[in-house]
Structure 1
Amino acid sequence: MTSYKDNKVITIGTVNELTGLSERQIRYYEERGLIYPKRTKRGTRRYSFSDIEILMKIADKREDGVQTNEIRKDMINKKKDTDIRDEMLRGQLNAHFKKLR
């Protein structure tokens, strides 16, 4: 089941109002591969609350002078760390339940 935070239903104008980022900044972060909005059949971007949280973190880092390529690398590394942790946990659970059989 998908969390409400991941439903891509928010327009770029609303994201602009919620984050204070200009539409151009939001599109730029998409171009840089930092966020991935869904596109409607007409090409309208739709964002989720999770996207808004990511954009706020990006904005904070940019205010601190962090470049977008550094932010992207950090995001990729965090995803890898999460994937590795998930894989290890699955392995531990599988090993545990195999012992119980």
Structure 2
Amino acid sequence: MAYDDSYKFKKVISIGIVSELTGLSQRQIRYYEERKLIFPDRSKGIRKYSFADVEQLMDIANKREEGVTTREIRNEMTKEIRQKMLQGQMNAHFRFRA
């Protein structure tokens, strides 16, 4: 049986639970959303997060403790996304199958 981690990406966790899991305040979590570092789903005005979002928030919090600015974190995230997109385009062009 293959391991399926799709549950990690389902947006089902409320901001209160995320706050408890991460140790971040709800205000900090909303701030990271405002800074475009995290992208929760919204249903009837209620934010919903995934386990992957919780991991991302922990990574952000650790970087902030090290003195990294939110702008630097966002720039790093953008760079990683671009690299993944480029790799995907190259794989598609050369018909590479992982």
Fold match by TM threshold 0.5: yes
Within a 5 Å distance, the mapping from 1:3-22 to structure 2 comes to 3-22=6-25
Aligned to 1:46: 48
Higher strand residue share: 2
How many residues were matched structurally? Answer: 94
Structure 1, unpaired ranges of 5+: 97-101
Between structure 1 and structure 2, the one with the greater Rg is 1
Moved runs in structure 1, 4+ residues, more than 3 A?
Answer: none
Offset of residue 4 of structure 1: 1.1
Offset of residue 46 of structure 1: 0.2
Offset of residue 92 of structure 1: 1.2
**In the TM superposition, what whole-angstrom CA distance separates every residue of 1:24-51 from its partner, at most 9, and x where no partner exists?**
00000000000010001x2000000111
Confirm or deny that 1:26 pairs with 2:29. yes
Give me the TM-score of the superposition, normalised by structure 2. 0.90
Structure 2, unpaired ranges of 5+: none
